[in-house]
Amino acid sequence: MVFGMGVATLATSAPSAGLEVPEIHPNIVLIYADDLGYGDTGCYGATRVQTPAVDRIAAEGLRFTDGHAAAATCTPSRYALLTGEYAFRRRGTGVLSGAAGMIIEPGRPTLPSLLKRAGYVTGVVGKWHLGLGDGNVDWNSEIKPGPAEIGFDYSFLIPATGDRVPCVYVENARVVGLDPADPITVSYGKRVGGDPIGAEHPELLKMHPSHGHDRTIVNGISRIGYMSGGQAARWVDEDMADTLTRKAVQFVEQRADKPFFLYFAYHDIHVPRVPHPRFVGRTEMGPRGDAIAQLDWCTGQILSALDRLGLAENTLVLFTSDNGPVVDDGYRDDAVARLGDHRPAGPFRGGKYSRYEGGTRVPLIVRWPGRVQPGVSDALVCQVDFLASLARLAGQPLPAEAGPDSFDVLPALSGESPKGRDHLVEHAGGLALREANWKLLPSAGGARVLQTVNIETGAGDSSQLYDLGADPGERHNLASTQPDRVRAMTERLESLRAAGRTRPNL
């Protein structure tokens, strides 16, 4: 497959010293939704919400049916995406508080740093949730280390999640709009300041928690953690999508004359789901459905900017999500009651927090007009592979220590090959192993259903083995009839875990 005039043909082998380097690098826009499930968009089967922009990417690009986040929760997925390393290998990469220190150490090769080395201008806009500073952040001064220390030239961040304090934006290491006379204090232990909390003042809330989420109230919504000060800097949830999209479009506009990498990490459809008033009532599914419609609008704004600036033909767009779906994740927003026949995880079992396929199998679409032919691919691919694959596209060989679990699947992502990975470790607290269509869930303790979110975890007293080709919903456990396969896959999973890497040394 030839990627346009002046760009070398890509070989199907892994990167090597003889790799031909593209003469002209494409811009890269990675759009990363939050908690968007496999079945949450029209091109993946949704009918109760309209997603014309995402569907456009699919119609003009390659839609994957077996694309995966690297984990079933947000922080580990984002860690793996940027580092090319499975997060289960590193302690402290679980879901972080809003006061955690940065978990990607400065200086290590990352997706943005490798692209920056290739001449890209790099930017991140949106949800971060990888920690900032050294774990003892002073939110009233310059916050380091942060995105700049791992390769991003520009950053405009939500520090953690919308349901966690601090509820402020951080642009290039500084809180946006902070009044020095009203300094910010954040705590995830003892209470700070005199702000009311949801547990004591439910009458002040415009959205009530269903479980947890009952500490400091910001914008009429109680959050996880305590915060005082920074009144002028606090975000308004209803304006968040517009604010982030505007910053993302500005980044594209200001760098239209040179290759750029934009990592645009939406807040939607994570809780609290508080879409702008113009999207309220857009669907019959309440705030969760309306947030999907808002997410789609944001996507359309990026596509329109690329069209308007004449950049679409030379821009690789990747659209995907950080983990599978969750319906009730802590706020009473009628998401369960108004779900109807909508299936957020599509045909798959589980969702966010789960070892079943619904935990990590997510939308994944690649568009590059004239270079990636439109269609559908069944190749097994994972976001942990973006580092090796995009580094190759940019002509950057990986150092031996970089991306220990990142495979070069660029031929699959480009549609040149129908084959992707031969295996994948799926991570949701415990681990599971994919080998082609076979899926092994080793025995694991813990609750079989997370009652607060009503999601099956995949835990159990004995191993589970599924043939996803015949049983995508993982309903027929074949472990008792396939003991040799269970044994071999169990041994391989333990070997992969112990090895410290899965990418071969080249």
**Gap between the Cα atoms of 419 and 411, Å rounded:** 8
Ramachandran quadrant class, 353 (left: phi over 0; alpha: psi -120 to 50; beta: rest): left
Q: Phi/psi of residue 304, each to 5°?
A: -65, -40
**Res. 234: pLDDT tops 80:** yes
Q: In this predicted model, what pLDDT tens digit does every residue of 319-346 receive, in sequence order?
A: 999 999 999 999 999 999 999 999 999 9
**Gap between the Cα atoms of 136 and 189, Å rounded:** 13
pLDDT attached to residue 217: 98
Q: What is the pTM of this model?
A: 0.95
**Gap between the Cα atoms of 19 and 323, Å rounded:** 33
Q: In this predicted model, what pLDDT tens digit does every residue of 176-200 receive, in sequence order?
A: 999 999 999 999 999 999 999 999 9
Binned at pLDDT 50, 70 and 90, residue 258 comes out as: confident
Written as six digits, the tokens of 3 are: 């990627």
**Res. 8: pLDDT tops 60:** no
Interior angle at CA 249, CA 35 and CA 243, nearest 5? 60
pLDDT attached to residue 254: 94
- Find residue 62's DSSP bridge partners: 366, 375
**Gap between the Cα atoms of 130 and 114, Å rounded:** 19
3-class secondary structure, 486: helix
Q: In this predicted model, what pLDDT tens digit does every residue of 286-323 receive, in sequence order?
A: 999 999 999 999 999 999 999 999 999 999 999 999 99
3-class secondary structure, 47: coil
Q: In this predicted model, what pLDDT tens digit does every residue of 459-479 receive, in sequence order?
A: 999 999 999 999 999 999 999
DSSP per-residue string spanning 401-438:
TS-TT----HHHHTTS-S---SEEEEEESEEEEEETTE
Binned at pLDDT 50, 70 and 90, residue 23 comes out as: low
3-class secondary structure, 203: helix
Q: Which residue has the higher pLDDT, 14 or 221?
A: 221
Binned at pLDDT 50, 70 and 90, residue 240 comes out as: very high
Across 408-424, average pLDDT: 97
Binned at pLDDT 50, 70 and 90, residue 3 comes out as: very low
Q: What is the CATH number of domain 423-499?
A: 3.30.1120.10
pLDDT attached to residue 15: 38
Q: In this predicted model, what pLDDT tens digit does every residue of 488-499 receive, in sequence order?
A: 999 999 999 999
Binned at pLDDT 50, 70 and 90, residue 506 comes out as: low
**Gap between the Cα atoms of 183 and 178, Å rounded:** 8
**Res. 18: pLDDT tops 90:** no
Written as six digits, the tokens of 252 are: 């594209």
pLDDT attached to residue 435: 98
- Min mean pLDDT across 17-26, 75-84, 202-211, 224-233 is at 17-26
Q: In this predicted model, what pLDDT tens digit does every residue of 361-410 receive, in sequence order?
A: 999 999 999 999 999 999 999 999 999 999 999 999 999 999 999 999 99
Mean per-residue pLDDT over the chain, rounded: 94
**Res. 62: pLDDT tops 50:** yes
**Res. 19: pLDDT tops 50:** no
Written as six digits, the tokens of 356 are: 């079943």
Residues serving a catalytic function are 74, 129
Across 10-19, average pLDDT: 36
Q: What percent of the chain has pLDDT over 70?
A: 95
Pure H helices in 230-373: 240-254, 286-308
- In the chain, where are the structural domains located? 27-177+234-413, 185-228, 423-499
CATH of 27-177+234-413, one of 3.90.1170.50, 3.40.50.300, 3.40.720.10, 3.40.390.10: 3.40.720.10
Residues in contact with 451: Cβ distance below 8 Å, sequence separation at least 6, in sequence order: none
505: DSSP letter: P
